[in-house]
Amino acid sequence: KGMFVHAEQVEQVRLAHPDITKMRLSVTQVNYNDQMNLQCELDISGYSDADIAGAKDNISSSLKKITKLNGAVEFVALSSLADDGKVIDDLRPIN
């Protein structure tokens, strides 16, 4: 099943969560099914496990509401995502 997500949609998710400094959506394929993972740069120091889980749920809900697709959310260290302007990283094999 194909997946169509636009950079503007990823930006809408980021704008809905102002604590996120940068994000990148990676699209992969597992057993011919497309999967997406949203990596978010967010300072989670001082967050409890419940705070982290709640933040992931909120971002995941925004992602689904905006893109109409389910995707995983992952927090990464600040400044760990490449500053190359790429918002969506399509890692699916080209057949």
Residue 21's domain spans which residues?
8-81
**Would you say residue 89 lies in a domain?**
no
Which pTM does this prediction carry?
A: 0.90
**Band of pLDDT at residue 94, cut at 50, 70 and 90:** confident
**Would you say residue 27 lies in a domain?**
yes
Residue-wise pLDDT tens digits, 32-73:
899 999 999 999 999 999 999 999 999 999 999 999 999 999
**Would you say residue 50 lies in a domain?**
yes
pLDDT for residue 3: 61
Share of the chain above pLDDT 70, in %: 97
Q: How many domains does the chain have?
A: 1
CATH of the domain at 27: 3.30.300.30
**Band of pLDDT at residue 2, cut at 50, 70 and 90:** low
CA pair distance 60, 91, nearest whole angstrom: 20
**Would you say residue 51 lies in a domain?**
yes
Secondary structure letter of residue 81 according to DSSP: S
With a cut of 60, say whether residue 1 has pLDDT above it: no
55 backbone dihedrals φ, ψ, rounded to 5°: -65, -45
Q: How far is CA 39 from the centre of its chain?
A: 4
Q: Judge contact between 34 and 80, C-beta under 8 A.
A: no
